[in-house]
Structure 1
Amino acid sequence: MMMLNMGLLRSALVISFFSTIYTREWNTHEYMIREHSLVKPYQGLGTSIPYWDFLGSTMVTNNYIRLTADAQSLRGAIWNKAPCYLRNWEMQIHFKVHGRGKDLFGDGFVFWYVKEPMQEGDVFGSKDFFTGLAVVMDTYSNHNGPHNHGHPYISAMVNNGTLHYDHDRDGTHTQLSSGCVSKFRNLDHDTYISIQYVHDTLTVAGVKLPLGYFLGVSAATGDLTDGHDIISLKMYDLSTPDDDILEDRINIMPSASFFEPPRDHVEDPKPSSLTTWKKVVLLVFGVITICGCVFIGGLFYTKQKEQQRKRFY
């Protein structure tokens, strides 16, 4: 197996990106929680899948669950019906992002652990001002503004319900520490992301998440497009007998001790509202106006010369 660690977020949330030439489990020593996992074969009775709900453009096939096709203005999501009460966990997502676009593509997908599941919205197909955790795989390549990173871009956000995800700025105003660039799009081999939440703390900062929230994945396309496929979701329980189980984790608010330094939101210059046809008309009108002025000026000049000649006779 070839494993490429594409960076860590400086928080208790450890995000690793893997690509592998062939499919193989990389976590076999922990216990996979069936009610929080989604693996082939997907179908249960009829078109339903046990423990999971669907929204929007989501389509289930034998080999993958397609959140969006490579088409404009789509939103799709899958949501786990069972609230998650694991204190420490790891989610492994096997996915594929693919599309025809070479330089322009988007928008991306998000792994969610939130209080309010099954709500469609503007944050990659799901609700803004959410309560909980979002891990964002942003592929939108046509950005302006002060971003010092490329795309696709992986970042995380913890929200207590009061923060807005600023899609025009990749969420950099509210992200946890620094994200990382990860070239996971249009690869010929399998792609995975591993999201680990263990003991609240990793070196620099901490993230505290309540128990009993819901897991999900959503994706969206806009004017730019990509196909977003989920092949599997595998949840592992990383809890140990030594974990503190006495602390009330049901009613706490999601929080994090380290965010990116805040920046002012500066609006991008508004593009011209003129269509190409209108621009052509204005250009033609401008040329005609200039030619008319030159013609009138020529007539005036000729008349002045004739009057000067008459004075000499």
Structure 2
Amino acid sequence: MKFCTLLSTFFTVALTFGVTTAKSHDDDDEFLPDVRRVPMKTFTLQAPFLHDSLHSRWYDFGGDTLVRTDKYVRLTSDRPGQIGFLSSRLPLTAVNFEIIFEFKISGKGNLYGDGMAVWLTKDRSASGPVFGGPDNFEGLGIFIDTYKNNRPGVTFPYIMLMHGDGHTSYSKSDDGKSNEIAGCSARGLHNANQDTRMRITYVKGDFLRVDLQYKEPEKWTQCFRISNPPDLPQTAYLSFSAETGELSENHDINEVEVNMLVATNAELHGQPLTKLTSPPSVVQKKKSGSWFWFFVKLGLLGTAAYFGYKKYLQYQKEKKYSRDAMF
């Protein structure tokens, strides 16, 4: 009787563990399932930043940018009227990619500005009036605006996405409201207690997503996600820039990492990496497979328990015969 009770408890625990494990596995794959990340070394930026010739191998620096080789690339210092930028020497040719960079915006006092930007543009970045970068650009700009000029009802710092067609100017008068495709507020980003990070995920024809990490270490918060994002120029350079006006702050970049996204699932092999966030056939196959292996394991456990129980009965029977023979 005790054995049956133990067996029942064992199966209950096994069933609970199996369902929980399958659910956790599916949860892990909700964002970009069946994707391999291939590092693109030609866009890597990390300490000591400079090489033997006192230049970066993969990036050019300009304006008021300062490099502290053990810590950061400082696009602007906490001084008024500064502009700084860095730009990749090679274009980003990957169709689908992920950009992760670690940065910090900090300064003294309660008033600060103006902000920084990330660029994916046809031309290599040069200094300009839009967060230290060019106006009338062609490509995508993601702006981290730290000072509110004229945008009621929005909490700053504010992060927004703009698509440039080569002719349209950034609207400073309303903090880019008329240019915005998507955006989010990021209260606490300035003078955060930790180094902050941004992750930009771009899958051509499917989505563009921006995530932030500034509230807690290793915890990503989605800023925005848009479907069918604008196409990038055939040659798109990755750049960063920053600007201070009458108000100022430090804009530091600590590290840049770029990964090419490649499909690993056989059904997607050799095809464009699109619709990966909701591929019905792949997800259905994955879920069916998870349940299949769950029942296989359950069957093996049941078989082992059955033969164990048979052996237990045989042992009890032999024990009884031995005891009878003694008397």
TM-score (norm 1): 0.65
Structure 1 residue runs of 4+, over 4 Å off? none
Compared with structure 1, are the counterparts of its residues 178 and 219 closer, same or farther at alpha carbon in structure 2 (3 Å cutoff)?
closer
The residue aligned with 1:128 is 135
Counterpart of 2:51 (choices 32, 44, 57) is 44
The Cα of 1:45 is off from its aligned counterpart by 1.9
Deviates more, 1:232-241 or 1:127-136: 232-241
Would you say the 8 A contact 2:36–2:262 is kept in 1?
A: no
Counterpart of 1:244 (choices 267, 272, 287) is 272
The Cα of 1:170 is off from its aligned counterpart by 1.5
Work out the number of aligned pairs and report it: 215
Would you say the 8 A contact 1:87–1:239 is kept in 2?
A: no
Query: 2: CA distance between counterparts of 1:166 and 1:121?
Result: 14
Counterpart of 2:64 (choices 53, 57, 65) is 57
| Unaligned ranges ≥5, structure 2 | 1-34, 208-224, 264-268, 274-327
Would you say the 8 A contact 1:129–1:163 is kept in 2?
A: yes
The residue aligned with 1:95 is 103
The residue aligned with 2:15 is none
For the aligned residues, what is the CA RMSD?
1.9
Compared with structure 1, are the counterparts of its residues 244 and 55 closer, same or farther at alpha carbon in structure 2 (3 Å cutoff)?
same
**1:33 to 2:40 alignment:** yes
Query: 2: CA distance between counterparts of 1:172 and 1:30?
Result: 34
Would you say the 8 A contact 1:53–1:81 is kept in 2?
A: yes
The Cα of 1:36 is off from its aligned counterpart by 1.3
User: Which structure carries more helix by proportion?
Assistant: 2
The code of the aligned residue for 1:244 comes to P
The residue aligned with 1:80 is 88
TM-score (norm 2): 0.62
Query: 1: CA distance between counterparts of 2:36 and 2:103?
Result: 22
The Cα of 1:182 is off from its aligned counterpart by 4.1
Deviates more, 1:51-60 or 1:166-175: 166-175
- Within 5 Å, give how 1:1-313 maps onto structure 2: 30-62=37-69, 63-102=71-110, 104-141=111-148, 143-144=149-150, 146-202=151-207, 205-207=227-229, 208-240=231-263, 241-244=269-272
The code of the aligned residue for 2:243 comes to A
The Cα of 1:243 is off from its aligned counterpart by 3.7
Query: 2: CA distance between counterparts of 1:77 and 1:204?
Result: 27
| Unaligned ranges ≥5, structure 1 | 1-27, 246-313
Identity across matched positions, percent = 30
The residue aligned with 2:23 is none
The Cα of 1:43 is off from its aligned counterpart by 1.4
Query: 2: CA distance between counterparts of 1:65 and 1:194?
Result: 18
The Cα of 1:155 is off from its aligned counterpart by 0.6
Query: 2: CA distance between counterparts of 1:101 and 1:200?
Result: 43
Query: 1: CA distance between counterparts of 2:133 and 2:183?
Result: 23
Query: 1: CA distance between counterparts of 2:226 and 2:36?
Result: 28
